[in-house]
Homo-oligomer: A and B are copies of this chain.
Amino acid sequence: MSLLIVGTTALDSIKTPNSENPRLLGGSASHAAVAASFFSQVSLLGVVGDDFPEEYIELYKKHQIDLSGLEKAAGNTFHWEGEYEVNMNNRRTLETDLGVIEDWMPNVTSPLNEKAYILLANCAPQLQHHVLKQMKQPKFVVADTMDLWLNIARHELEQLLKDVDCLVLNDSEARQFTEEDNVVIAAQSLHKYGPKYVIVKKGEHGAILSGPSGLFIAPAFPLDSVIDPTGAGDSFVGGLVGYLASHDGDIDDNLRQAIIHGTVTASFCCEGFGLASTTITTRECINKRVEALSQLVAF
């Protein structure tokens, strides 16, 4: 079925101890859309500046991403500059330039406002809600978020959560949101804000789903080399929603497999800078890794 993804389309400059990679294609919607494209036809809602390289448009097109909702505005594309330590779990933001996304509040017209699956990839809750309110009859709405919005837009995030089916966030964010140290309790207590499903991401430790059928403890795909984890969480949720949108039937029946396919798609993201590794993988490679993961956890 049809999938709309809204979020940031950005240029990321990423430093690691060994490498500098300026102005790579990044942003929550970019990572999520490419990840979802392995499973489903994706429509991307976003905005870029007049500095946005044509080669990145070509990259979207390579993945058959519908760009009718990608606006080009006068100004700079959202730019994020970050640096990772040797321990890739630690990173710091060196600079953020919001550029053209700062005041962007799009009109969502037909046929984009008729999509059944909606991924509100990580961006300002006001923007996520603005888009969601324009959708005609969404079947399933997933929202990703981050600590920044808990700090500066908690009220707006809480308003949004009343209207979403599934919330995705990190374990530290779940703890911060709920002031609950136990991550199982934190996940469960987030339902009271609205979402029927809550997925807590734990990075290399996998993810936890809390839903009507109880908990699902999902492993991450173990990697022996992490080059750049930027966008892994976005790839996870993109793969997840892409998988759901391509499988008929009850969400409850499909969500575990969707999470596993999301985690495997995210594992490819970590193996290269920006989208370099994700964009050269295939559905067949993803399926093989899902099968391998299934063997790795069997008992």
> Chain A interface (Cβ within 8 Å of chain B)?
86-88, 181-185, 188, 202, 204-206, 208, 214-219, 222-226, 256-257, 259-260, 293-294, 296-299
Q: Counting chain B CB atoms within 10 Å of each CB, which of A206, A293, A297 scores highest?
A: A297
Q: How far is the CA of A299 from the CA of B204 in the complex (A)?
A: 19
Q: Out of B183, B184, B296, B299, which one reaches A294, CB within 8 Å?
A: B299
Task: Evaluate whether A222 and B184 lie within 8 angstroms (CB atoms) in the complex, with A205-B202, A206-B205 already known.
Answer: yes
Task: Evaluate whether A223 and B182 lie within 8 angstroms (CB atoms) in the complex, with A205-B205, A296-B215 already known.
Answer: yes
Q: How far is the CA of A222 from the CA of B225 in the complex (A)?
A: 28
Q: Are A299 and B185 in contact (CB under 8 A)?
A: no
Q: Are A224 and B182 in contact (CB under 8 A)?
A: yes
Q: How far is the CB of A75 from chain B (nearest CB, A)?
A: 39
Q: Are B224 and A185 in contact (CB under 8 A)?
A: yes
Q: Are B181 and A87 in contact (CB under 8 A)?
A: yes
Task: Evaluate whether A204 and B217 lie within 8 angstroms (CB atoms) in the complex, with A260-B299, A299-B256 already known.
Answer: no
Task: Evaluate whether A257 and B299 lie within 8 angstroms (CB atoms) in the complex, with A206-B205, A215-B222, A222-B208 already known.
Answer: yes
Q: How far is the CA of A155 from the CA of B290 in the complex (A)?
A: 41
Q: Out of B188, B222, B256, which one reaches A217, CB within 8 Å?
A: B222
Residues of B within 8 A of A88 (CB): 181
Q: How far is the CA of A182 from the CA of B222 in the complex (A)?
A: 10
Q: Are B86 and A181 in contact (CB under 8 A)?
A: yes
Q: How far is the CA of A226 from the CA of B182 in the complex (A)?
A: 8
Residues of B within 8 A of A215 (CB): 222, 296
**Chain B residue with Cβ nearest A87:** B181
Residues of B within 8 A of A214 (CB): 296
Q: Counting chain B CB atoms within 10 Å of each CB, which of A202, A219, A293 scores highest?
A: A219
**Chain B residue with Cβ nearest A88:** B181
Residues of B within 8 A of A256 (CB): 298-299
**Chain B residue with Cβ nearest A222:** B184
